[in-house]
Amino acid sequence: MKLSIEKNKFLNAISVVSKAISNKPSISTSGCVLLDATKGYIRIFANNEDMAIQGIVEGEIIEEGMVGVDARLLNDIVRKIPDGNISIFFNEKEDDDNIKVVIESNNIKFDISGKNGYLFNDLPEIERDKRLTISQYALKDIIRRTIFCTSVSAVNKVLEGELLVIKNGILRVEAIEQSRVAIRQIEINNSETDERVIIKAASLNELIKIISDDTEAMIDMYFMNDNVVFEFDDYIIVMRLIEGNFFDSSNLKYNDYITKVEVNKKNLFDCLDRTTLIAKEGDKRSVKFIISNNNLNVSVVSQIGSINENIEIIKEGEDMEINFNPKFFIDALKAIDDENVVFYLIGKKFPCFIRKEDTYNYVILPVLG
């Protein structure tokens, strides 16, 4: 194998594909990306148990072949080589278990060890009949504003995922944790399919690091039986779907609320941010909301000290006293861009709904005490 690739294009592709490397030491290709020049183009590939990424990178194939190399070392080497073309090669006749890969640029020559390319699995065959095309920005945005509400490691694997529902020209994303739910929806123009899939949050979290903030740049999603495929620019990302029953959010009804509060988002956010100085997590303290007339009184008392604040609100309905984990409220407010937010209370032992019709619904259970 012998390739010549421009440094910055190479580096970009390595860094995108590296998001799918496996870190399980038991896997022979752990930590490695595959460089494959056997198909007439140069592709970089990595996969783990949840996702696979392939990137096509421009360059010259001087001699065909493929080899796996440590992704991090390759990234560091390419990054620290000056701009220009990088030559990467090995001698096919070498012992398969001990491939010496040479990375060269002008007066710089690195040797590193490589792994036989046949050790890598490949992408599955991709079926492109069920498709959703959406802007990379919109996809990134809706994931970013819900993903904080997923669990990293749950007994029920469904809780490690986000639910994506595509129906009637709407994409809805739902995430749930023990004491809170995040739901967002956007209109989509360009869907050939109705779908309901659960995708691992950790994989989506890597996706949103890769895709662009550009509202003009599009991404195609394809829905297969066991996988969802993301295709954009020169990349294909395949994620395994999580099987199981997701929480039914249609049970979350706010219509019977007894108190409705409208408040300036920044005022509430800054106040709750201050309460975290007194209600430290190790302390398991909650903040107390006392809603009376057009005033929201927020207070905490702990070993550290106390805080007491008053915020102006517009209230409809009854006065109310209710306790929350301030972090849950803060996370929801962070995910909202509006100047004012409205929340609905059903009772001091029932969920609070921070919601905007047809846009978002952040549901938080109160702390009982």
Task: Determine contact, residues 81/108, Cβ cutoff 8 Å.
Answer: yes
Selected from 242, 278, 322, 335, the binder of its own copies by CB under 8 A is: 278
Stretch that binds its own copies, among 38-46, 74-82, 179-187, 204-212 (CB under 8 A): 74-82
Mapped onto helix, strand or coil, the DSSP state of residue 116 is strand
- CA atoms of 226 and 198, how far apart (whole Å): 10
Q: Is 121 in the site for its own copies (CB under 8 A)?
A: no
Residue closer to its own copies by CB (options 70, 206) is: 70
Stretch that binds its own copies, among 50-58, 160-168, 194-202, 309-317 (CB under 8 A): 309-317
Q: How does DSSP classify residue 282?
A: G
Q: Is 109 in the site for its own copies (CB under 8 A)?
A: yes
Q: Among candidates 292, 286, 288, 296, which has minimal Cα distance to 340?
A: 296
Region 156-195 residues binding its own copies, contact defined as CB under 8 A: none
Mapped onto helix, strand or coil, the DSSP state of residue 364 is strand
Residue closer to its own copies by CB (options 82, 317) is: 82
Q: Is 13 in the site for its own copies (CB under 8 A)?
A: no
Q: Which residues contact 284 (CB under 8 A, 6 or more apart)?
A: none
Selected from 27, 61, 112, 208, the binder of its own copies by CB under 8 A is: 112
Residue closer to its own copies by CB (options 251, 293) is: 293
The torsion angles phi and psi of 281, rounded to 5 degrees, stand at -60, -40
Q: Which residues contact 359 (CB under 8 A, 6 or more apart)?
A: 184, 185
Selected from 305, 357, 368, 369, the binder of its own copies by CB under 8 A is: 305
Q: Is 309 in the site for its own copies (CB under 8 A)?
A: yes
Selected from 108, 119, 126, 217, the binder of its own copies by CB under 8 A is: 108
- CA atoms of 298 and 291, how far apart (whole Å): 9
Residue closer to its own copies by CB (options 3, 51) is: 3
Q: Is 330 in the site for its own copies (CB under 8 A)?
A: no
Residue closer to its own copies by CB (options 256, 339) is: 339
Neighbours of 4 (CB within 10 A): 17
DSSP, residue by residue, 212-268: -S-SS-EEEEEE-SSEEEEEETTEEEEEEBPPSPPP-GGG---TT-SEEEEEEHHHH
Size of residue set near its own copies by CB under 8 A: 27
Q: Is 113 in the site for its own copies (CB under 8 A)?
A: yes
State the nearest-atom distance from the C-beta of 245 to its own copies, in Å. Answer: 42
Selected from 197, 307, 335, 354, the binder of its own copies by CB under 8 A is: 307
Give the sheet arrangement for strand 161-167, strand by strand: 195-200, 161-167, 170-177, 180-187, 360-364, 352-356, 340-345, 259-264, 314-317
- CA atoms of 234 and 255, how far apart (whole Å): 47
State the nearest-atom distance from the C-beta of 80 to its own copies, in Å. Answer: 5
Q: Is 270 in the site for its own copies (CB under 8 A)?
A: yes
Q: Is 314 in the site for its own copies (CB under 8 A)?
A: no
Stretch that binds its own copies, among 70-78, 195-203, 228-236, 353-361 (CB under 8 A): 70-78
Q: Is 25 in the site for its own copies (CB under 8 A)?
A: no
**Cα torsion at 67, 68, 70, 74 (round to 10°)?**
40
Interacting residues with its own copies (CB under 8 A) = 73, 76-77, 80-82, 107-113, 270-271, 273-274, 277-278, 304-311
